[in-house]
Structure 1
């Protein structure tokens, strides 16, 4: 089943409409913090993912699950409408029966005993991940661990089989709020599935899930972990068509990144006797002429009038390919030289664009109908750094959607964080 995810994370990389140049964190609320490290400093070049308290082998396996989710079912499959209606009936019955009790805030590892496990068992019995005959004990045993992994998978959480803060927060979203989400998303699904042509290939970015689906003949051909817009710089909803790929592109900094990230960081570094343009390799231009980076006064008004760009290369935040489509918000999809966030559970860290893990697979799928574009040619573009723009022989429909609750034809009911607070539910449903 599909397993989109969002959770704690943070790796800096100057990125088009992506990661802030300033040392900022992601929002934390309802006592469940998913923030960037407070001492997060400006870093240049690729960085690795964050750590944790788990053994290295387990941690790496979970990161791989985040980076490489299974294909699962299409989010916009027509069958999901009927399945979601059935889920609404089920959750209506749960609400009418009194919903579920809150699970105590506790951290419990597999095999451990804790009084909170009793409530966890009851909670999973109500929502259906655990059989009704499994009530009782305080031990987080193997059967309960597997049921908890199913719950975590269906709620966009890393399936570690542990009771932890994000899992407790998700469990404690009320049945009433989950029902509200299902009803809100049924309307979205009904509208979206009416415009999707399942017999054709198309791409879907589900923003709350932070995942990208390449779909053909109503099957997910490849699913990709993505990085989406932060709460204060949300990725927009859109319907468009992918028309072009830029291999090894130049990054032209958009106005938002210039004013909110580059200039403030330039001022901060200038006060320390450093130069942000020299550090990053970004070039400033005034009336088409390159500006000497050493002569830029970041405290003057002049930097606001400049245009900025970064040439192709290993430090270019667009990576080796940028995917273009018409957008009034000037957003796009692209590669990233920094892979750390792709292994994190929370991936709302951009300024609106979508970074895509394993984008070479998506790029090949998009250009496969172009003459001469075999998979090895795409891989060669990544190796050589050759600069090239490629128009697609057949443009591919693209949908940026906001789906936080849905059911699939196998009966699984999926929930994701209401990342941008659009479902009208309690804050806890937005922040776990």
Structure 2
């Protein structure tokens, strides 16, 4: 699976657990049993015990998935196009019409519509019944679907899952074709070690020797403040950094907040400096105007710092970077488009430890100790690492699994090639 880090593996493993229990497969969940019995059996103690054992197996299996930017992915995406061409030729899938949230135990005609939809895409075996009862096997199929679409794998057909199910096959096929061009264009030598940020998936891969070392959930740019496409090299790590508020954030965010809450800056330890470097009392600034844009606003290091404890620097004309965040709860959301263009990284310490391996003196313990010191420390990478901020919304992986992500910036619809470096 593409986006597994520690937190997302725990939630994603749930989406495949019935596969590991023999209740389904990566090509679709299958069975032929009484619905009520299945609902009961899913919650037995034996099932829970098997879950713990299977989780470890799933983690190893999912870790073997090839990097998104690889010749393997190009090949499997070509295979996915053929699969979806066949689905389209057979009429695709029907829209599901329901205003209800569908979950385990639901009994409604809409459940049968969900079954049909998942059978067509291969998430549920076509030999399964069209019962109106939402049983554990359908729940597993829904989780499999959610897993492929980067959604929280709760097995519930809510608003976001339903919207993904109702995307026509023709649009999915076009996504695959568009992204095959992108993947092929990025299929050259990317380096022995590199970092890939997939913006629409809000996901990160650290890759070494064409294998994924770690995967991280991310927070990327809002629709009106999109993260750019970048091809660069990571050159420096800042521990316990100051945060200098960009003028755009001062104007769009900080000034409106100060109008509502005059204590905002002091509470978040943000100081104001004039052009001579002298500190300015916030009470001396006219917050009813844009006067604050002419000052430097700098946030002290600490738990409240907008960049958390780490900033990862690479040259680019947009002044974006990767960083930690105090808002860890956002990583557990389906919608992770909250930044002003920079990329927030879950489990960033693990990524930094890997980036600093060539330096020879920064393992996980040293990274933790450096952060705990509270001191501002800058470390230059002895071997700058390539970074590619890309825009991939569809791709194929082994076992016939096809992944889709939302076209948040509408670059697919525009036929935009959208490859790393285009906006650099």
Measured against the shorter chain, the TM-score band is 0.7 to 0.9
Residue among 105, 112, 132 paired with 2:106:
112
Does the 8 A contact of 2:124 with 2:141 survive in 1?
yes
2:242 is the counterpart of 1:243: no
Does the 8 A contact of 1:115 with 1:138 survive in 2?
yes
2:169 is the counterpart of 1:180: no
Root-mean-square deviation (CA), in Å?
A: 2.1
Which residue of the partner structure matches residue 267 of structure 1? 259
Residue 264 of structure 1: CA displacement? Answer: 2.1
Residue 4 of structure 1: CA displacement? Answer: 7.4
Q: Report the secondary structure of 1:74's partner residue.
A: coil
Residue 194 of structure 1: CA displacement? Answer: 2.2
* Residues 162-173 of structure 1 mapped to structure 2, 5 A cutoff: 162-173=156-167
Q: Report the secondary structure of 1:410's partner residue.
A: helix
Residue 120 of structure 1: CA displacement? Answer: 1.0
Which residue of the partner structure matches residue 2 of structure 2? 2
Which residue of the partner structure matches residue 94 of structure 1? 87
Residue among 271, 280, 286 paired with 1:291:
280
Which residue of the partner structure matches residue 308 of structure 1? 297
Q: Which structure carries more relative contact order (alpha carbon 8 Å, separation 6+)?
A: 1
* Residues 187-266 of structure 1 mapped to structure 2, 5 A cutoff: 187-197=181-191, 200-266=192-258
2:400 is the counterpart of 1:407: no
CA distance in 2, matches of 1:243, 1:3: 24
CA distance in 2, matches of 1:135, 1:127: 16
Normalized against structure 1, the TM-score is what? 0.80
Residue 3 of structure 1: CA displacement? Answer: 4.3
- Unaligned residue ranges in structure 1 (runs of 5+): 6-57, 62-67, 426-432
Does the 8 A contact of 2:232 with 2:386 survive in 1?
yes
Does the 8 A contact of 2:202 with 2:336 survive in 1?
yes
Cα distance change, pair 302–142 in 1 and its aligned pair in 2 (3 A): closer
Does the 8 A contact of 1:230 with 1:348 survive in 2?
yes
CA distance in 1, matches of 2:111, 2:288: 57
Residue 310 of structure 1: CA displacement? Answer: 0.9
Does the 8 A contact of 1:246 with 1:389 survive in 2?
yes
Q: Report the secondary structure of 2:359's partner residue.
A: coil
Q: CA-to-partner distance for each residue in 1:94-119, whole Å, 9 max, x for gaps?
A: 11211110112231211321211111
CA distance in 2, matches of 1:147, 1:301: 53
CA distance in 1, matches of 2:3, 2:129: 27
Normalized against structure 2, the TM-score is what? 0.81
2:346 is the counterpart of 1:357: yes
Q: Report the secondary structure of 1:178's partner residue.
A: helix
Q: Which moved more, 1:166-175 or 1:101-110?
A: 101-110
2:116 is the counterpart of 1:122: yes
Q: Which has the higher helix share?
A: 2
CA distance in 2, matches of 1:262, 1:353: 17
Residue 86 of structure 1: CA displacement? Answer: 1.2
Matched residue pairs, number?
360
Does the 8 A contact of 2:3 with 2:217 survive in 1?
no
Does the 8 A contact of 1:4 with 1:210 survive in 2?
no
Q: Report the secondary structure of 1:193's partner residue.
A: coil
Which residue of the partner structure matches residue 338 of structure 1? 327
Q: Which moved more, 1:345-354 or 1:95-104?
A: 95-104
Which residue of the partner structure matches residue 38 of structure 1? none
Q: Report the secondary structure of 1:397's partner residue.
A: strand
Which residue of the partner structure matches residue 408 of structure 2? 419
* Higher Cα Rg, which structure: 2
Residue 195 of structure 1: CA displacement? Answer: 4.4
Residue 359 of structure 1: CA displacement? Answer: 0.4
